[in-house]
Amino acid sequence: TILIMKAGAQSKVNYDESKVEPYTLPELLRSAGGQEIKTVKEWESIRRTEIVRLFEEEVYGKIPAEAQLKPTIEILEKEGEAFHGKAVRQQIALDFERNGQSLRVHLLVYLPAGQDNPPVFVGYNFYGNASITEDENILLSPSWVPNKKEFGITENQITDGARGQRAHRWPVEKIIDAGFGLAAIYYGDVDPDRDDFSDGIHPLFYEEGQTKPGPSEWGAISAWAWGASRALDYLKSEPATANSKYILFGHSRLGKTSLWGGALDKRWDLVIANNSGCGGVAISRRKIGETVEAINTSFPHWFADRFKKYNDQENKMPVDQHMLVALIAPRPVYISSAVEDRWADPVGEYLGAYYASPAYQLYGLETPASDQQPSVSKPIHTSIGYHLRPGGHDVTDYDWEQFIAFSRKHLKP
Ligand code: GTR
């Protein structure tokens, strides 16, 4: 947890299942005009489009159309040897320029040596690419980062002290051994995670005199979703990965990001959201753990401004988070929860996944059989996959074993 809850919001936290008030979810397969959605065609042409628009306008905020901007590419490292020759390391800078402003996004790519077009996990990290593994050759990003003494970060700058600090969340060598590539991006390169809209990608698209996005325009989560797609543009332009399958992975706020990114960009072949909680996969109407009001209070910059009107008004939302998962159909999606991560509402995370099933069923796909959350360490690997593991808010080897097995099963060539 990077930011601490502001006083007030925290006092109302409920963890008691028996205090969940009865709620009705917005209907997934009925259009705003009342039409029942019975076919893939109706889903894709009518309802899906409506739901994307609702999430854009009411929740995450719309990405400007001009943002499909092409960066200048600088190859910082072409072919580094990594993991005793098992992998090839590449480091790339994507330079975006507009309105006299510029933004540099660093991409770190590991590909299994000698393997053409491997499936690739693409994931954001919290403390810079150098934090994900001990590899000393990883370049340090100069972007703003929240201070963290234990990582040697005291002046909002990543230093050598951050190297390898998050290696336990990124079993890079195991990923390589399993035949997958990994592309890593520091999320603060795209938009520093603070309530400040003068930095990151947003200012490149301001009109004259504008200082922050409009009420229905992109917050930070939309910005991060956008950035992941720009990394994908690059990877798809490279012969070594042009025909790869792409898995968008994210933990926590970055799991919220992977779901929204996966919904917006159909080129993601598979989407994984770990411990994504409120604003991710958890059903907002349950109000267990983090609520809409709590998240909008602690992180006012994550969502569109308009999302704040649903503070303590979840029943007025035209969407709930199962509809976000449904937007990923028919592509496989994997949701993971942790028993002690109660702030993210593990039961609500399962239900968010489960209630997306009707969209997947339109495509004839297999979905979880029961609305009862599976027991601990009993993963489900249907088109909508899910597991609950012991422990707290984190990414563990067990999680990665499931991500890899699920991806193998569903991305067979
Ligand atoms: C918490 C926040 C969660 C989650 C988490 C994280 O403070 O309340 O929504 O995003 O941070 O990203 O680790």
pLDDT (0 to 100) of residue 68: 86
| Tens of pLDDT, residues 325-348 | 999 999 999 999 999 999 999 999
If you ran DSSP here, which 8-state letter would residue 96 be given? E
Mutate to test the pocket of ligand 1, among 1, 302, 349 (most ligand atoms within 8 A of CB): 1
Q: What are phi and psi of 128, to 5 degrees?
A: 95, 155
Nearest CA residue ID for atom 10, ligand 1: 253
Residue by residue, DSSP assigns 172-206 as HHHHHHTT-EEEEEEHHHHS-SSS-TTSSSGGGGP
Confidence of residue 319 (pLDDT cuts 50, 70, 90): very high
Give the position, in ligand 1's atom list, of the atom nearest the Cα of 295.
Answer: 8
List 222, 252, 284, 337, catalytic entry: 252
Looking at the CA of residue 277, tell me the nearest atom of ligand 1. Answer: 9
Per the prediction, the chain carries an average pLDDT of 96
252 is an active site residue: yes
Distance CA 174, CA 81 (A): 16
State the distance from the centre of ligand 1 to the C-alpha of 50, rounded, in angstroms: 28
- CA 268 to CA 262: how far, in whole Å? 6
Q: Which atom of ligand 1 is nearest to the CA of 278?
A: 9
Ligand 1 pocket, CB under 6 A: 1, 3, 252-253, 277-278, 290, 295, 298
- Tell me how far apart the alpha carbons of residues 81 and 199 are, in angstroms, rounded to a whole number: 34
CA distance 217 to 300: 13
Q: What is the pLDDT of residue 7?
A: 47
What does the DSSP 8-state code read for residue 340? T
pLDDT at residue 4 is higher than 50: no
* 54-83 pLDDT tens trace: 999 999 999 999 988 999 999 999 999 999
Tell me the C-alpha distance between 318 and 331, whole Å. Answer: 24
Nearest partner of 346 among 397, 295, 403, 280, judged by Cα: 280
Q: Which residues pair with 381 in a beta bridge?
A: 385
Q: How many CB atoms lie within 10 A of CB 225?
A: 25
**3-state SS, one letter per residue, for 121-152:** EEEEECCCHHHHCCCCCCCCCCCCCCCEHHHC
pLDDT category of residue 11 using cuts at 50, 70 and 90: low
- Going from the C-alpha of 56 to that of each of 63, 176, 216, 401, the distances in angstroms are 8, 36, 7, 33
Separation of CA 146 and ligand 1 centre (Å): 14
pTM over 0.90: yes
Contact 36, 59 (CB under 8 A): no
Tens digits of residue pLDDT in 38-58: 999 999 999 999 999 999 999
The rounded Å distance from CA 150 to ligand 1 centre is: 19
Q: What is the ipTM of this complex?
A: 0.91
pLDDT (average), residues 279-285: 99
- Cα of 5 vs centre of ligand 1, distance in Å, is 10
pLDDT of residue 413: 61
Max CA-CA distance within the chain? 60
Instruction: Specify the length of the chain in residues.
Output: 413
What is the rounded CA–CA span in Å between residue 190 and residue 63? 13
Strands 384-389 and 380-381, bridge-based pairing: antiparallel
Structure tokens at 391: 């422990």
Closest CA to 247 of 283, 274, 220, 281: 274
Three-class DSSP category at 11: helix
Tell me the CA–centroid distance for residue 242 and ligand 1, in Å.
34
- Per-residue model confidence (pLDDT) at position 12: 76
DSSP reduced 3-state for 162: helix
Contacts of 114 (CB under 8 A, 6+ apart): none
C-alpha dihedral over 339, 356, 380, 346, to 10 degrees?
Answer: 0
CA of 253 to the centre of ligand 1 (A): 6
Token pair for residue 17? Answer: 């299942």
287 in helix, strand or coil? coil
Nearest to 61 by CA among 180, 214, 285, 191: 214
Is residue 213's pLDDT more than 50?
yes
| Cα 322 to middle of ligand 1, angstroms | 19
How far is the C-alpha of 47 from the C-alpha of 50, rounded, in Å?
5
Q: Is residue 3 scored above 80 in pLDDT? A: no
Mutate which of 13, 290, 395 to test ligand 1's pocket (most atoms within 8 Å of Cβ)? 290
